[in-house]
Amino acid sequence: MTFICRFAPSPTGPLHIGGVRTALFNWLLAKKNKGKFYLRIEDTDKERSKDEFRKQIISSLNWLGIKHDGKEYIQSKNIKKHKEIADELIKKGFAYYCYCSEDEINEQKEKCKKQGIPYVYNRKWRDAKDLKIPENVKPVVRFKSKISGMSSIKDLVQGEMSLSNLTIEDFIILRQDNTPTYQLSATVDDHEMGITHVIRGDDHKINTFKQKQIYSALNWAVPEFAHIPLIHSETGKKLSKRDKASTIDDYIKTGILSDALRNYLLRLGWAHKDKEIFSLEESINLFDLKGVGKSPSKLDMSRILSINEYYIKHIEEKKLFELLKNYCEKFNKPVKSSKSSVILKSINFLKNKAKTLEDIYQNARYILNDEVKISAEDKNLINQSSKAILKDFLDSFEKIKKIDKNSLEEIINKLIKAHKTNFKGVGQPLRIVLTGSKFGPAVYDILRSLDKEEIIKRLKNI
């Protein structure tokens, strides 16, 4: 069996992390089964669709490593076909013109509200042979939805879902301005693209019942559906664009690695035994719909950071350096080319206490900046005796020929004895003077990553 999957976002806003996960699951399923993964831009809402969002969606997907097969489908280009299908449905008696004005509909809704009963369009024009067609109303086209019995769908994630057909109204497939609605366009396009598996958010469950009726009216093969639970924000609500960390760009800016985010998203609502870390290859091989849970899951930033930390520590250092360089360039954090080689050489310890690329950058600032700024608070930590230690250090340091662990250890151990202190007594003031911070890489690492003159300069600065 061939698997043809798709991701069909509308370019009405930046892609958020829930959408990314939907795309990922579709892509994984396609790759696993050596099928196809298509991208369809659903841009039929002309008012809200923006080309910049289309671009943002594609670049977000690419950043995660998700590439669609073939060229992207632009839904609006297929409108003519959608209309033809609407006509066909009318001819075959599966759809009809409805001349109810918007006022009339609103009236109905009001009435229902007052009576406390749920609104469903009253199907006034469904079989209206004797009704007089009003001249001043442009009609919409409605699909003749089933009015009796039950429908059920075997969902690959949700299992059996069923509902009474009466709860589905005669939904609109062609608007007053003769443009197709989502229910029609998506169904026609999925059919034309030969989609075999639709993985989408479970907010589409009801749509599936509607769309399935269109499939059967047209005698089209119905694809398999898998409705995955939505991702909730940390506060437990539906993820919205207002949530801070909701778009891919937010994560890129934080300094999250794409492999880490892919791994996190994969494990959110899906599991394979006790396994936590999945390489790209393992993701593809091990992913299955059976492992997807039915309940919504909350976003957990500390977990994202933790997985990110893992990837930072485990990927090849050269690659990490490239990622860091790109990150700094993108976010306007200057890295002089003269410092580049030092950073590359030092990345093995700069990454040590870092959860994000931003953290690595912060750890590297003492290399990148020529001026060391020491906060007043840290300056207070350097008292008179610390100054004496630093001075003695400088004297001995200037004399050594080669900066290596042995020579440095010798100096520092002598100082510890001479000043009757411990390593901290020497190490902390040294770190503050050299980096401007109490925290950071090991003192020996710092000393070996800076030029001798630079160290002397900084030591004299106190």
Partner RNA sequence: GGUCCCAUCGUCUAACGGUUAGGACAGAUGGUUUUCAAUCAUCUAAUCGGGGUUCGAUUCCCCGUGGGACCGCCA
391 to 420: interface string for RNA, x by CB under 7 A:
------------------------------
Distances, alpha carbon 207 to alpha carbons 210, 225, 456, in Å:
5, 11, 70
Is residue 268 near RNA by the rule CB under 7 A? Answer: yes
Which of 81, 146, 175, 212 is the binder for RNA (CB under 7 A)? 175
CB of 266 vs RNA, minimal distance in Å:
9
Using CB under 7 A as the binding rule, whether residue 303 contacts RNA is answered as yes
- Binding part of the chain for RNA, among 65-73, 198-206, 252-260, 366-374 by CB under 7 A, reads 198-206
Which residues partner with 37 through β-bridges? 5
- The reply on whether position 297 binds RNA by CB under 7 A is yes
**Binding of RNA at residue 267 (CB under 7 A)?**
yes
95-98 and 297-298: which strand pairing? Answer: unpaired
Q: Is 173 helix (H, G, I), strand (E, B) or coil?
A: strand
- Interface pick for RNA out of 2, 62, 101, 383 (rule CB under 7 A): 101
Maximum CA extent, the chain:
109
By CB under 7 A, residue 108 contacts RNA: no
C-alpha span between 385 and 349 (Å, rounded): 30
Shortest distance, position 333 Cβ to RNA, whole Å: 17
- Residues from 13 through 52 that contact RNA (CB under 7 A): 42, 44-45, 48
Site for RNA in 349-378 (CB under 7 A): 352-353, 359
Q: What is the x/- site pattern for RNA, positions 206-225, by CB under 7 A?
A: xx------------------
- The sign of the CA dihedral 318, 320, 325, 330 is positive
Should residue 186 be labelled a site residue for RNA when binding is judged by CB under 7 A? yes
String of contacts with RNA for each residue 139-158, x by CB under 7 A = -x-----------------x
Cβ atoms 16, 239 nearer than 8 A: yes
Q: Is the CB of 215 or the CB of 444 nearer to RNA?
A: 444
Count Cβ neighbours within 10 Å for each residue of 137-146 and write b for 16 or more, e otherwise.
eebbbbbbbe
Which C-beta is closer to RNA: that of 271 or that of 418?
271
Residue 258 C-beta: closest distance to RNA, Å: 19
Question: Is residue 176 a contact point for RNA (CB under 7 A)?
Answer: yes
Q: Are 45 and 75 in contact (CB under 8 A)?
A: no
Output Rg (C-alpha) for the chain, integer angstroms: 31
Q: Is 12 in the site for RNA (CB under 7 A)?
A: yes
Structure tokens at 121: 């369009």
Count of residues touching RNA (by CB under 7 A) = 82
Q: Write down the least CB distance from residue 1 to RNA, Å.
A: 25
Check residue 298 for interaction with RNA (CB under 7 A).
yes
DSSP symbol at 99: -
Q: Are strands 224-228 and 197-201 parallel, antiparallel or unpaired?
A: parallel
Q: Measuring CA to CA, how many Å separate 452 from each of 305, 340, 362, 375, 397? A: 36, 18, 22, 24, 9
Answer for which of 9, 14, 18, 223 binds RNA (CB under 7 A) is 9
